[in-house]
Amino acid sequence: MKKYDVVMIGGGHNGLVTACYLQRAGLDVIVLEKNAWVGGAATSRELTPGFLYSNCSYVCSLFRPEIMRDLELPKHGLQVISYEGGAVFTRDGDYLASYRDHDSHRREFARFSKRDAEAYDRYARDVTRQCRFIQPLLMRTAPDPFSFKPRDLQELLYLAKKFGDFSPAEMAATLRFWTMSISDFLDEYFETDVVKAYLALSGIIGTALGPMSPGTAYVLLHHYMGEVDGSVGAWGYARGGMGAVTSALASSFKASGGTIRTGADVTGIMTHRGKATGAVLADGEEVLGKLVVSNADVKRTFLKLVDESALPERFLHRVRHFKMRGSSGKLNIALDSLPEFPALPSGSSCIRGDLHFTDTIERMEKGYDDWKAGRWSADPFVDMMIPTTLDPTMAPPGKHFVSCFVQYCPPKVEGNDWTDADRDAFAETVIKQISDYSPGFRERILHMEVRTPREIEQEVGLTEGNIFQGELTFDQLLFNRPVPGYAQYRTPVRGLYICGSSTHPGGGVMGAPGRNAAAEILRDLRHAPSHMSSAHDVI
């Protein structure tokens, strides 16, 4: 029976990144994907004829350009396009837009507050300073502070030195940033509700916390760390939808000789005497490997795939308590024509960016209150985008694909499993909110896919539908992600690695966890990672 060098469980973006790097190092790698397509949460799916849905993740910024280059993704079809800005609609019929042009952006803020308009630069400066500190850490394995291995000590020194380069004021700012709520943080800069609501969204996306919960300021940072072609903090669309990222990865992987098996649902990881030996599929077939890598989240990997008796008790305890709570849902909609927003002047560029309907932090926080009570938000926060305003490949001419990310959406409805009726009522809440600002929206709908945490977990395999494979709060970052002592992509099972967003540096379509995992695996194999670029300099 064939024995692969590496069996990769799951064909999400991180799994594919790891697989590509390992295959390119000369290993024989097989990717096992349960769905009939690869991509995990970065897919483009034709669920109704002529329309491609980015049906989980929907925008691209965090994906590391070093990886795109190393794996020749442009050659395999990946193109990322910057988008223009966006708007949050206010209940009095106005809106606050964001514009790419610096002075226009300031004048737009000045419509609401001259002070906030001029405060934005200081805010952006402070956020950028923090990003510049963290960015170089993304493509490095987090040091284990208790291993005392020379390499960990060296990495700790690197961290200490970076931190030591800070002035006392900057150190204080950093500690505050890592621990504050986004609401408190924004209060220090701005006075206008709608300005704060607009900026707060990056602090709560994908996170089961409200804007007033401590720790959400860091989540915001995580969303500013990306770039489009060197424009730090910018977001873009992957041309052809987010599936373009993973199809380029899959194509690159196959071009270097890798094997992908779709429809291969892994139900268990085989171990022998504390060492991983392969994966078992739903039909009982065994796929053998010298090494096994799991792209699944840490809970799915260790609570479902690995026999718990093979794992240390404390480790299991930490895995069980790793916070990975479902907090969001998604509506993917095919529209007959471009929706109208009477509040926007005709021809406004805002429609090509992100559109929101939550104009105060209080409304967001109330939405979170509903989640705590086990209900979806009655007045949800919606991040709506129409990528077809810039990307001609995703819908027939004149027709549009609309992606609506919706928060908050609980993993269970008042303690019970989601039903189809719940799902439809959830969708109705969202459509109603949009229709309040876009009359005729409902009539334009040709087809709609509604995804609650139930659907996301069932299809993508993310526990509770948590998009980050674990929340991005400071207690779950760096050497604490996912479990202290196991933050370097290795696990208590020899020969078993994890490479998904549960690991450092976390979620988003970033690819850094997958890349770092590949580096660690190659290190164990004593293989020089000469084909891996180190992180671009932050100068």
Binding piece for another protein, criterion CB under 8 A, among 39-47, 124-132, 237-245, 258-266: 124-132
Minimum CB separation of residue 193 from another protein in Å reads 11
Minimum CB separation of residue 310 from another protein in Å reads 49
Minimum CB separation of residue 178 from another protein in Å reads 18
- Are the beta carbons of 7 and 287 closer than 8 angstroms? yes
Helix (H) or strand (E) holding 3: strand 3-9
Any alpha helices (H) in 322-399, and if so which ranges?
A: 361-372
Separation of alpha carbons 330 and 456, rounded Å: 9
- Are the beta carbons of 52 and 240 closer than 8 angstroms? yes
Minimum CB separation of residue 499 from another protein in Å reads 33
Separation of alpha carbons 18 and 518, rounded Å: 5
Of 3, 75, 122, 314, the residue at the interface with another protein (CB under 8 A) is 122
Contact flag: residue 185 with another protein (CB under 8 A): no
Residues within window 27-86 making contact with another protein, judged by CB under 8 A:
none
Residues within window 203-222 making contact with another protein, judged by CB under 8 A:
none
Separation of alpha carbons 275 and 494, rounded Å: 4
Of 75, 107, 320, 372, the residue at the interface with another protein (CB under 8 A) is 107
Of 2, 125, 161, 526, the residue at the interface with another protein (CB under 8 A) is 125
Contact flag: residue 424 with another protein (CB under 8 A): no
Contact flag: residue 536 with another protein (CB under 8 A): no
Minimum CB separation of residue 91 from another protein in Å reads 10
Of 114, 272, 314, 372, the residue at the interface with another protein (CB under 8 A) is 114
Binding piece for another protein, criterion CB under 8 A, among 67-75, 87-95, 375-383, 461-469: 87-95
Of 5, 106, 265, 446, the residue at the interface with another protein (CB under 8 A) is 106
- Beta bridge partner(s), residue 416: 413
Binding pattern for the stretch 153-172 against another protein, x by CB under 8 A and - elsewhere = -------------xx-xx--
Q: Which of 499, 35, 38 is nearest to 259 (CA)?
A: 38
Of 60, 97, 264, 517, the residue at the interface with another protein (CB under 8 A) is 97
Contact flag: residue 103 with another protein (CB under 8 A): yes
Contact flag: residue 186 with another protein (CB under 8 A): no
Contact flag: residue 475 with another protein (CB under 8 A): no
Whether cis (ω within 30° of 0) applies to the bond prior to 168 is no
Burial class (CB in 10 A: 0-12, 13-18, 19+), 369: middle
Of 1, 36, 93, 148, the residue at the interface with another protein (CB under 8 A) is 93
SS3 state of residue 234: coil
Amino acid found at 58 = Y
DSSP assignment letter at 306: B
Binding piece for another protein, criterion CB under 8 A, among 56-64, 66-74, 103-111, 272-280: 103-111
Of 84, 108, 297, 383, the residue at the interface with another protein (CB under 8 A) is 108
Contacts made by residues 94-102, CB under 8 angstroms, sequence distance 24+: 94/343, 95/341, 95/343, 95/344, 95/350, 96/194, 96/195, 96/198, 96/359, 97/348, 97/350, 98/198, 98/350, 98/353, 99/349
Write phi, then psi, for 93 (nearest 5 degrees). Answer: 95, 5
Contact flag: residue 342 with another protein (CB under 8 A): no
Binding piece for another protein, criterion CB under 8 A, among 70-78, 95-103, 249-257, 497-505: 95-103
Both structure tokens of 200: 């707060």
Minimum CB separation of residue 159 from another protein in Å reads 18
Contact flag: residue 415 with another protein (CB under 8 A): no
Separation of alpha carbons 203 and 350, rounded Å: 21
SS3 state of residue 476: helix
* CA dihedral sign, ordered 6, 292, 250, 237: negative
Binding piece for another protein, criterion CB under 8 A, among 38-46, 94-102, 272-280, 476-484: 94-102
Contact flag: residue 349 with another protein (CB under 8 A): yes
Of 4, 89, 112, 185, the residue at the interface with another protein (CB under 8 A) is 112
> SS3 sequence, 383-444?
EEECHHHCCCCCCCCCCEEEEEEEECCCCCECCECCCHHHHHHHHHHHHHHHHHHCCCHHHH
Site of interaction with another protein (CB under 8 A)? 92-94, 97, 99, 101-104, 106-108, 110-112, 114-115, 117-119, 121-122, 125, 128-129, 132, 166-167, 169-170, 189, 345, 348-349
